[in-house]
């Protein structure tokens, strides 16, 4: 592979990884700010959890994309593919868990609520 192209891919994957981490960090601050601002409102804690979950989901998607680019384009070995498979499995499980936590239902279940809105009642822990 051309050295310049490989370097460009490394920079691209690093940028996507940084973006993924930034989305999570900014989401944490945004959720905390909104929680403090609206803490007296009913459902503020549930909204905090839903906002955090959405930020983590988006950040995880970016991190998985960076891992896929890195594995497929930069290091296409069986070992790196096995590591990628493990990472994708763990992150997919986390994504599904967060989706259930945010919406209160599995992603494939239909809902009569409009898309993207959290369930009104928080889960009982």
Is residue 114 included in any domain, yes or no? no
Domain count for the chain, please give it: 1
C-alpha angle 40-45-49 in degrees, rounded to nearest 5: 150
Is residue 57 included in any domain, yes or no? yes
Rounded Cα–Cα distance for residues 72 and 76 (Å): 5
Question: How many CB atoms sit inside 10 A of residue 23's CB?
Answer: 20
Is residue 120 included in any domain, yes or no? no
Rounded Cα–Cα distance for residues 57 and 95 (Å): 6
Is residue 90 included in any domain, yes or no? yes
Question: How many CB atoms sit inside 10 A of residue 57's CB?
Answer: 20
Instruction: Spell out the per-residue pLDDT of the chain, length 125, in tens.
Output: 588 888 888 899 999 999 999 999 999 999 999 999 888 888 888 888 888 988 988 998 899 888 888 888 777 788 888 888 888 888 788 878 877 877 777 777 776 654 444 444 544 44
Domain of 49, in residue numbers:
3-103
């Amino acid at each position: 592979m051309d050295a310049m192209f490989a370097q460009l891919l490394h920079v691209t994957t690093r940028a996507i990884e940084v973006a993924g981490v930034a989305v999570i960090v900014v989401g944490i601050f945004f959720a905390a700010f909104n929680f403090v601002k609206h803490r007296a409102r009913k459902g503020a804690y549930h909204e905090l959890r839903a906002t955090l979950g959405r930020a983590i989901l988006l950040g995880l998607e970016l991190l998985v994309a960076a891992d896929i680019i890195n594995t497929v384009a930069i290091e296409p070995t069986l070992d790196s593919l096995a590591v990628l498979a493990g990472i994708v499995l763990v992150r997919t499980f986390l994504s599904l868990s967060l989706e259930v936590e945010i919406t209160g239902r599995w992603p494939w279940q239909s809902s009569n609520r409009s898309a993207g809105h959290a369930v009104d009642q928080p889960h009982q822990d």
